Amino acid sequence: MKGNQMSKIRTGVAAAVVLAAVPTTAVAAGVLVDHGHGPTVVHDTAYDQVKTQVHAWSSDGITRVRLMVTGLPAGQTFGAHVHTRGCGTDPLASGGHYQHSTDATVPLADREVWLDVTSDEQGRGVATTTVPWAFVPGTAGSVVIHALPTNPTTGAAGARLACTTVEFGG
């Protein structure tokens, strides 16, 4: 671990405490927010300078995930995905891709969370993906950055470079 921070806030609950005057119905749905700062583990020492932030918002069955990365080599695209488990020193500890459904008639990109990032000249990249579902709690544990862009058919993206633990879905 490298001084990572993780926090989760149920903003609906926080809002209910702070804004007691707001009608209950206005906050009942709530917004579940998950954060991860990392990386938790760097698997390739060439990427020691990488820093990551992951933010996820889920509300009314829609989830938005944002990956922000700095410290990348300039002008390259890196595959990135939500994986099933938290990071470990073994690159495979983070498990496979989170799949919300195993229905093969649905494109992989629609049932997984892909966050491929292209770095700018300063080595920074941001990717945001929105999916029409919410994570099943306990089944999505990290965001992994890979060496290659994601193959749209297979989902493969080469070696795992860095992993950020995020407990998606609380």
**Token output for 24:** 């209950």
Span from 46-54, 56-64, 67-75, 137-145 in contact with Cu ion (CB under 5 A)? 137-145
144 near Cu ion, rule: CB under 5 A: yes
Residue 149's alpha-carbon distances to 3, 77, 109, in angstroms, are 28, 6, 13
59 vs 84 by CB, closer to Cu ion: 84
Q: Name 165's Cβ contacts closer than 8 Å, sequence gap at least 6.
A: 4, 6, 36, 38, 40, 86, 87, 141, 142
β-pair partners for 77:
118
162 near Cu ion, rule: CB under 5 A: no
User: At closest approach, how far in Å is the CB of 30 from Cu ion?
Assistant: 29
Find, among 105, 103, 114, the residue nearest to 155 by Cα: 114
81 vs 100 by CB, closer to Cu ion: 81
37 vs 81 by CB, closer to Cu ion: 81
- Candidates 81, 115, 117, 143; binder of Cu ion (CB under 5 A) is 81
Q: What is the rounded distance in angstroms from the CA atom of residue 15 to the CA atom of residue 11?
A: 6
User: At closest approach, how far in Å is the CB of 96 from Cu ion?
Assistant: 8
140 near Cu ion, rule: CB under 5 A: no
9 vs 156 by CB, closer to Cu ion: 156
What are the φ and ψ backbone dihedral angles of 29, each rounded to 5 degrees?
A: -65, -40
User: At closest approach, how far in Å is the CB of 108 from Cu ion?
Assistant: 11
16 vs 110 by CB, closer to Cu ion: 110
* CB-CB contact of 46 with 83 (8 Å): no
Q: What are the residues binding Cu ion (CB under 5 A)?
A: 81, 144
